[in-house]
Structure 1
């Protein structure tokens, strides 16, 4: 029996990436060798691309010239693979509700990254934080911002919303087309990936809202999300369990030597079985530990007043400098700067 595909978005991205690279003259063997993805996985409609192969694919794609193909895709095709999300987000009473549901239902599209929505006076800012892209994930941010802009413009009052976008990394050769796509400035080499727009229509009643269909569409989408998360891979359960242990706040528990036995106790398994199951999903305990600490470090910097040293201790690093090196390797900036940037937003 084929396992439930809990990462369908990675499969779609892999197919699109392979096709785009082939169109640009890169041989398919090169793609398969660098990513570890097989031709059979790409052809299988239910094929699963695990987190490790997705990470390798993103790292490989970052080394290649940026591709502008995503700007030319027709609007109706952006949500073709995710109809449940489209049925909800394009039929909400207000733009605020549409954006909130878009962020809430992102699990149906993929959860390899994060998006944060903030309001500041008359502006809305949405920040994209890449989980796998050491170079900032500008092209991944561009794709996510494109989808958000399509949702937001569905709630326009006749004048197309202008979006000011900022991206980490160097400007691609088609930077002018990015500005034209969003209808306002597009800046590169920024500290964060952000999309900003005027919030004056955020709570304006939507003229095409259908109150009879909306509850049923939302219920269906939430049921799909619940089913998807219920069928999570074992590695996803392990990662969440590590985060839960880290949130207990014990520095003695956070180092690898103590974390593994505590994790095995919580999952009612032993280390050999745990490592073997993770191996079947092409990952390791150490990889999940680092990913969990990466996620939790960002949360603590954003949501608490703990010092960098206290966060370092809580996450089991040998010293504050070791934690700073780890964080800079992951996100290309020190933790204090990350806290400053997110607080300033």
Structure 2
């Protein structure tokens, strides 16, 4: 296992958090896999998924099973850059029931807001954080998976799908200011540059897309408010999957807010639309506490950031809400049995050995 401490992380964020996603990406995967000589039916059966997922885009499946299919299929000798290839094949209609509603939003900003509103029809795992600074806008992809790292293919798939959505709003030839990935670059960038354009950076500080504020608010010439209303009425008739627990809602909010220094209960409450006292009471009724969920998310994010060479230990401490690196080191050692610098060294050594073995 590449990420040391994974078993400990399962205690934090794996077992009690049901993370489900639509099976739409598997309908895209089927064609790409077949072209690469991979049997998609066998690949699904090996992780316990029903092959009907290959033809039924609106099924809700475990995100972990999807990740395992992609990881097994995306070997360099078989189908490199699988996630990007699926993202490249994505169309607005692949968003399913919300597609018509998204198509008739007045701006890309409104599209992203509605993606969050109708997340229950799309994915429990994905959130998009919009950070604006003067004329520059960063669309951060935030993935909640219950694993120390979502996996390269899942990250690239999600960024690719987001980019296809941006192009659906801004034009098929649109090129962003930049597309960023926190993981290392692959051996070949051909597929990435064909899809994203020339400005693709790896070993970056985040996963996401950089655009301008003007592009975020550019009027959509195809928007029709009457059709948007009609589509919204149809969405109201859609059966809603079992609602997430309040603890799951808090976890997802914290994954977005903690790196922005907003891990207190007040900003989380505002995001969820409830009063802080009400939120505390609801968590207590389910046997949870806000502080324990903050600790859980901090642990998940700390391992994810430490596994990247880009972040110093001081950077990681700041990103997970510690103003002093000494306090972060004490907390991390108590959680994982070793200081963060040693955990990182062990993790990167394991990664280097793994790459060396693959190279031979």
Q: Give the corresponding residue for 1:35.
A: 47
**Between 129-138 and 305-314, the greater mean CA deviation after superposition:** 305-314
Query: Which of 36, 44, 58 pairs up with 1:24?
Result: 36
How do 1:176-195 and structure 2 match up within 5 A?
A: 176-195=190-209
Could you tell me which runs of 5 or more consecutive residues in structure 2 were left unpaired when the two chains were aligned.
1-17, 255-262, 266-281, 303-316, 349-360
Structure 1 position 30, deviation (Å):
5.8
Alpha-carbon distance in structure 1 between the residues aligned to 2:106 and 2:45: 48
Structure 1 position 126, deviation (Å):
1.2
Q: Give the corresponding residue for 1:165.
A: 179
What CA deviation, in whole Å up to 9, does each residue of 1:184-223 have, x standing for no partner? 4112233321211222233343333212222343454466
What CA deviation, in whole Å up to 9, does each residue of 1:141-200 have, x standing for no partner? 333333333433344489834341122334346523322323341122333212112222
What CA deviation, in whole Å up to 9, does each residue of 1:48-77 have, x standing for no partner? 53344345335434555323632652xxx5
Structure 1 position 137, deviation (Å):
4.0
Q: Give the corresponding residue for 2:11.
A: none
User: Measured at CA, do residues 99 and 319 of structure 1 come closer, stay the same or move farther in structure 2, by a change above 3 Å?
Assistant: closer
**Structure 1 residue matching 2:124: 3-state secondary structure:** coil
Structure 1 position 298, deviation (Å):
4.0
Q: Give the corresponding residue for 1:87.
A: 100
TM-score with structure 1 setting the length: 0.60
Aligned alpha-carbon RMSD (Å) = 4.9
- How many pairs are equivalent? 283
Q: Give the corresponding residue for 1:12.
A: 24
User: Measured at CA, do residues 114 and 173 of structure 1 come closer, stay the same or move farther in structure 2, by a change above 3 Å?
Assistant: same
The question of whether the paired residues in 1 share the 8 Å contact of 2:130 and 2:138 is answered with: yes
The question of whether the paired residues in 2 share the 8 Å contact of 1:71 and 1:178 is answered with: no
**Between 151-160 and 166-175, the greater mean CA deviation after superposition:** 151-160
The question of whether the paired residues in 2 share the 8 Å contact of 1:137 and 1:168 is answered with: no
Structure 1 position 96, deviation (Å):
1.9
How do 1:300-315 and structure 2 match up within 5 A?
A: 302=319, 304=321
Could you tell me which runs of 5 or more consecutive residues in structure 1 were left unpaired when the two chains were aligned.
250-262, 269-288, 333-345
The question of whether the paired residues in 2 share the 8 Å contact of 1:239 and 1:292 is answered with: no
Q: Give the corresponding residue for 2:91.
A: 78
The higher-RCO structure (CA 8 Å, 6+ apart) is 2
Structure 1 position 307, deviation (Å):
5.2
